[in-house]
Structure 1
Amino acid sequence: MSGSGPDRIHRWQVSPSAHRSERSYAGAMVATITSRADAARSVGPRRDAHPTAATAEVAARLHGPRRTAEIVHRSRHAVYVRDAERCLAVVARDAVAVPCGLLTTWPDLDGVRTVVLGEGQCVVDGRALRVTRYVEACVAVRPDGLTDDLPRTALLSAVATNLPGGTTAYDRLGGDDPRAVDALLGRGPGLTPLGDDVLAGWLVTRYAAGARGGQVADRVLAVASTRTTTVSATLLAHAVRGEAVPELRALVDGLGDAGTDERLSDLLRVGHTSGAGLALGVALAVRRPATVAA
């Protein structure tokens, strides 16, 4: 962010509703952050709050009146809550940094019972969190296109057991055919079903290539809330905007550069099946080098 003026707007600081001055979450009107000046006013330490990191959009969701959020999933490493039909996560320090997350320094989140949002904070079992640092969640846009020789055959094999019969859907993705969404969404194991992971990897990579929107993206946004888990629907909405976990962003941002194998290995270690699904989505979205057989 060096070299930019004090009020320059960055893409990660603007919500999809940036043309409005406010957004509604769970019945509360929430100010939209659109500049560094807004950010400076909205974040900062409080003596009684633990510091945390998040995107500007996630930080904005902490404003409004205090409200108890419904816990929809909890584990040792993360707690997901529902707020206005979308999820927000409280994430332990060694967990995957999801784009909807408040990234804490806490070693674990065992036994969490209540999460309260509002007044600029997230209160977890009486412990307050306040955003003191912003993080990037969006891939870099490379309109010249993305090309790489990812091991597509190996990735197809890695997901075949848990996501059989996907070949036709994968072919349809290449043509931005919305029928691919109907074939993949909600299919497979996991909090984020494997078919959703494939879609997310594809959507993020397409965004990086400069292809925003499209029929697949529109279909995902239209039906995900009723066809998959709330957590996965939230992460797919982020994927449509090019936002993803750091391991996926690193792979996509580095396509065509040295170190792709190492970045792919890092992504494959995410979750039980999620990393393989995300990587396959990337492979399906990039152009193959002309000298490499498909």
Structure 2
Amino acid sequence: MTIAVQRLASPILPLLTSPSRTLTVVAAYPRAAYATDGTTWLSVVTPGALLPPDALQLRTKSPLVALVPTGSQLIAGQGALLLPDGTPLTIDQQTRVWQPTLRTRWTCQWKRARLQALLDELTDPPRGDRFLATTISRSKALLAELIGAIITADRAHIAQQVDRLAGLGPGLTPLGDDLLVGCCLALTLLAARTGEERWSSLRQEIALQAASRTTPRSAAWLQQAARGEYAREFLLVAQALCRGDHPCLPHLLARVTQVGATSGWAVTFGLIATLERSILPPA
């Protein structure tokens, strides 16, 4: 028995071609599992799940909690990847290799009024307890402070707000980190729109600083953002925003905001808020 790979993120190609190594699954869910050897991360997902920049998407809908349970081990390298039970994953001519970076073949354009309307429609995730409600409110306030510091180019204040947001909240990828990833994606769009290197440099500084102060999985997520690499679904949202009032945008937003308990919402909020809140001149 073999399981075919449907999509493969280009950054993990070296993992498959290098000498064999063992990765331990640190978290497994029905449609996604995350494994690491302490330095390199691999996301194994099934169709319909978020596709991170370090992902292998399998051509199966079998629950991953059974295929790659938490604590189990994957063997990767020498052109192969073996599941814990020894089942090999196959890469064939139908496997699609994708680049987790922003691709824009057009001039980025957006209007502040439209961004503000999207922000108003982006309601907070359900606040199941007082701690989560407090975390959401505090994180949004800190993000606003960070954006203000970006506008004024106050590097000391930027660093201070990043330190406060990094690792803020529970979970594999805390809420504060997800907001920062969204902010970094907005800086990537600004770099694409203006051609100014300062936006890319600032993105790298913010992401790497936050990565040193959070959970291992979230640190990997932020290190990818530092390189301008993001989950496929968030890139699609960014590219739709870049094209103005794209007809697919409502559908894309509805999908990504449902990812995780707060992750999809937070990345999206960080992206739109950073674009809208006074970084861009009035349209």
Equivalent residue, structure 2, for 1:165: 138
Distance change >3 Å, CA 170–CA 149, structure 1 → 2: same
Measured in 1, the distance between the counterparts of 2:148 and 2:109 equals 15
Asked if residue 258 in structure 1 is aligned to residue 221 in structure 2, the reply is: no
Equivalent residue, structure 2, for 1:152: 119
Measured in 2, the distance between the counterparts of 1:50 and 1:216 equals 36
Q: Are 1:143 and 1:209, in contact at CA under 8 Å, matched by a contact in 2?
A: no
Q: Are 1:69 and 1:82, in contact at CA under 8 Å, matched by a contact in 2?
A: yes
Asked if residue 185 in structure 1 is aligned to residue 190 in structure 2, the reply is: no
Equivalent residue, structure 2, for 1:217: 204
Asked if residue 53 in structure 1 is aligned to residue 17 in structure 2, the reply is: no
Equivalent residue, structure 2, for 1:24: none
Report the more deviating stretch, 248-257 or 138-147: 138-147
Measured in 2, the distance between the counterparts of 1:188 and 1:155 equals 20
Q: Secondary structure at the match of 2:137?
A: coil
Pairwise CA distance, 1:172:
1.8
Amino acid of the residue matched to residue 58 of structure 1?
I
The residue correspondences of 1:213-292 to structure 2 (distance < 5 A) are 213-215=200-202, 217-225=204-212, 227-255=213-241, 256-259=244-247, 260-287=249-276
Equivalent residue, structure 1, for 2:65: 110
Asked if residue 123 in structure 1 is aligned to residue 82 in structure 2, the reply is: yes
- The structure with the largest helix share of the pair is 2
Asked if residue 92 in structure 1 is aligned to residue 92 in structure 2, the reply is: no
Q: Are 1:194 and 1:274, in contact at CA under 8 Å, matched by a contact in 2?
A: yes
Measured in 1, the distance between the counterparts of 2:172 and 2:146 equals 25
Measured in 2, the distance between the counterparts of 1:222 and 1:165 equals 20
- Identity rate, percent: 27
Amino acid of the residue matched to residue 233 of structure 1?
A
Pairwise CA distance, 1:133:
2.4
Amino acid of the residue matched to residue 149 of structure 2?
G
Measured in 2, the distance between the counterparts of 1:64 and 1:276 equals 36
Distance change >3 Å, CA 63–CA 163, structure 1 → 2: same
Equivalent residue, structure 1, for 2:97: 134
Report the more deviating stretch, 103-112 or 211-220: 211-220
Q: Secondary structure at the match of 1:79?
A: strand
Distance change >3 Å, CA 152–CA 114, structure 1 → 2: same
Pairwise CA distance, 1:248:
1.4
Measured in 2, the distance between the counterparts of 1:128 and 1:280 equals 39
Tell me the TM-score normalized by structure 2. Answer: 0.75
Equivalent residue, structure 1, for 2:24: 70
Distance change >3 Å, CA 77–CA 182, structure 1 → 2: same
Q: Are 1:196 and 1:232, in contact at CA under 8 Å, matched by a contact in 2?
A: yes
Amino acid of the residue matched to residue 109 of structure 1?
L
Equivalent residue, structure 1, for 2:149: 175
Tell me the TM-score normalized by structure 1. Answer: 0.73
Pairwise CA distance, 1:233:
1.3
If asked which structure has higher relative contact order (CA below 8 Å, sep 6+), I would say 2
Amino acid of the residue matched to residue 230 of structure 1?
P
Pairwise CA distance, 1:89:
1.0
Pairwise CA distance, 1:88:
0.9
Cα deviation code 1:225-280 (max 9, x no counterpart): 4x222221111122223322232112111112233333222221111211210111
Measured in 2, the distance between the counterparts of 1:280 and 1:195 equals 11
Q: Are 1:163 and 1:187, in contact at CA under 8 Å, matched by a contact in 2?
A: no
